Structure 1
Amino acid sequence: MDIFGHDLSAAQLKRRTGDLSAIAGIRQVVLDNGSERGVRAVEVRTAAGLEFDLLVDRALDIGNARFRGVPFGWRSGNGFRHPGLHEHNDEGGLSWLRSIDGLLVSGGLDHTLFGGTVDSSNYAYPPKPTVTHGLHGRLTAIPARLLEAGEHWDGESGTLKVSGEVIQATAFGEHLRLHRTVEVDFDGKEIRLHDVVDNLGFEKTPHMYLYHLNFGWPYVDAGSEVVAPIKSHLWQSDSIAEQRIGYRILPEPIRGFVEQVTEHELVAGPDGRHRVALISGDGGRGIELSWDAATMPYFFEWQNLRDGQYALGLEPSTNRVQGETAAREDGSLTWLEHGESREYRTTIRVLDGVAETSASRAAIRAIYGQPE
């Protein structure tokens, strides 16, 4: 392992410290002030300088994220609000915007994208013929049951592993389970997510899933570039034509900026994975995302570049931007029968220095180009 510039085996490292958590490790904490009070979290640190917090009571999503002290996960100003404060149907279904914060906010499990009312006759409960969803569903406000948080050693290789499960259920409705495993190498710079969603209920149930991966300053800055193998733009918000701010090179923060969304048609690599990078203007730092193209074939870029917000969202998705009603109408909505599941594997890798950002750019360019 590379431990602070020293090539050490596990045995050699253990000779040098009485507690490996001095080098890297996992710590369970409880946030205890303001709207965050009572939220359980798992702090994860690697010897390479990667640090992130898993918010157990917020679907085991990722809150703070830093590399060598520099944040790359976005902070919205909302804080990591306790799920008991979440107002699911307030503000026309947009109250989810009061909870979005941190590197990863997962959408699902039966609904993502904008809300609305849809048929629920599949649950055979006459008093509730329809169900109303808010933006990106209920998942973010459901606490997880923590199953594991610890170290694993295989010979000389060490891994930090956290796993848990989230149940989204109601009588006469959906009964879905998310099993999430998050792993990093003891000396690693990448976060590996492995999610499995299955239907514990006995009625056919809709399933939609989305990762709202949010990046902030200084990884998001004037001159930062989105690098992706883009075949076409499938959809763009009207604000793009009105503001004339492109998707590829980011500007300074803009007062009163109206959010922009582009749905990109990506080309998968030979390994069957989609790959996208955010690279600083000088190439000194970046983040690369990769995920299975078969299970999350769609991808959105969310630009929230206004003063005091200044974020870039990179969003793998199971469905197109038009949402659930459109997916029901065109037959693209996923339905899970009892015992059926869907599996998702995603990697978030920190790019450190020009050599790594250049290699990432070249690998993406080898898959496909992208429009100016």
Structure 2
Amino acid sequence: MEQSKYYGHPSQLYGVTEYRLMGGKSDGMHMLHVKNGKGLEFTVSADRCADISELSLDGKNLSYTSVGGVTAPAYYTEGHDGFGFLKSFNCGFLTTCGLHNIGTPNVVDGTPYGLHGTIGNIPAEHVRWEITDEAIILKAEVHDEIIFGSKLALIRTITVSLNENKLEIHDEIKNTGSKEEGIMCLYHMNIGYPLLSESALLAVNSDKVVPRDDRAAEDLDTWSQMIPPVPNFAEQCYYHIFEGNTGCAKVYNPEINKGLQITFDTEVFPQMTQWKMMGERDYVLGLEPTTNTLEGRKTIEEQGKLKTVAPGSSRDIYIQVSFYDNQVDWETGK
């Protein structure tokens, strides 16, 4: 069937709508709303690393939006303790963290590095998109560069299929300077209500699960079990270690018959951080492919585990997300 005979404009079924927000801390932000005509819809925040904020399937929300809401990058501050990141942390479906630090704030050779770095608060440049017969393709560039210092660029491509509910994120991290640069990356992918509830099922194909601290160790045996929101819940983080070539983490909630699966290359991301935060209003499950654990750049450098990029070279990162509306397909990963 030739669908085009049935509508006047493709946006009736699929496409990209660009707009700017008004009012409050989101005033003036450049956003792109994407829908693929198969039930998948999401919003790309061009002013924040071209990350993905809201995401839904068949009208059911799958992502988490923090109490701060959508916040312009101008409100970002590292803070005196290095935790200022949290004040403007929208979460959304994807917040990119790095490129110079992930995890604990620390100081290296007199240079302070705050929680999760600054890349997620840098506006993207050259934001554009095209629609082919098979997909919607969005492209953007994020330049994390400073005079007399480190020069890194993140070239992002988000591809969403028009034939099935799948999207792929391809990031090329380029060293545009003249000296070798250390890089750290964490893809903060956040699941929220109603996909996330005490009925949600979580499966990860990891070979080992390691609690980050004593608090996480308290419930190591129930890391995969979700619970109802708890007042003043203290977060728990687990490192998932993989021996195979492909990491896979997936969530399904039979109450809404919706689910998703995140896959990634374990050569790039040898571990995934699971952020289990079951607090009232702070109710979120983070599934976070990451280059390193969360002890901060200083510790990772001292351990000799910091990944580097030579001048003029780049590293490629691929993450695929598949979406499901029935449990059988989710379980089999079709």
TM-score (norm 1): 0.86
Give SS of 1:206's match: strand
Q: In the alignment, which residue of structure 2 is the partner of 1:276?
A: 249
Deviation at 1:223, TM superposition (A): 2.8
Check if 1:41 corresponds to 2:17. no
The size of the alignment, in residue pairs, is: 333
Q: 2:118 aligns with which of 114, 138, 141?
A: 138
- In structure 1, the gaps of 5 or more residues are 1-7, 120-129, 364-372
Cα deviations across residues 61-97 of structure 1 (Å, max 9, x unaligned)?
0001011111001011211211111112x15111111
Check if 1:261 corresponds to 2:261. no
Q: In the alignment, which residue of structure 1 is the partner of 2:307?
A: 334
For the pair shown, the structure with the greater C-alpha radius of gyration is 1
Cα deviations across residues 236-268 of structure 1 (Å, max 9, x unaligned)?
322234567821110111111001000111243
Deviation at 1:281, TM superposition (A): 5.1
Q: In the alignment, which residue of structure 1 is the partner of 2:177?
A: 201
Segments ≥4 residues shifted beyond 3 Å: 241-245
Deviation at 1:19, TM superposition (A): 0.6
TM-score (norm 2): 0.95
Rounded to whole Å, the distance in 1 between the matches of 2:206 and 2:122 is 34
Cα deviations across residues 263-321 of structure 1 (Å, max 9, x unaligned)?
111243xxx32111112256932110001111111111001110011100000001123
One-letter code aligned to 1:96 = F
Q: 1:100 aligns with which of 83, 89, 97?
A: 89
Deviation at 1:356, TM superposition (A): 1.4
Any residues of structure 2 matched to 1:1-372 within 5 Å, and which? 8=1, 12-88=2-78, 90-101=79-90, 102-119=92-109, 130-153=110-133, 158-242=134-218, 246-268=222-244, 272-280=245-253, 284-360=257-333
Rounded to whole Å, the distance in 1 between the matches of 2:307 and 2:331 is 38
Contact (CA 8 Å) 1:222, 1:281: kept in 2 or not? no
- In structure 2, the gaps of 5 or more residues are none
One-letter code aligned to 2:76 = H
Inter-CA distance 327–163: structure 2 relative to 1 (3 Å threshold): same
CA RMSD of aligned residues (A): 1.7
Rounded to whole Å, the distance in 2 between the matches of 1:54 and 1:146 is 14
Inter-CA distance 220–91: structure 2 relative to 1 (3 Å threshold): farther
Identity %: 25
Give SS of 1:339's match: coil
Rounded to whole Å, the distance in 1 between the matches of 2:201 and 2:157 is 30
Deviation at 1:28, TM superposition (A): 0.9
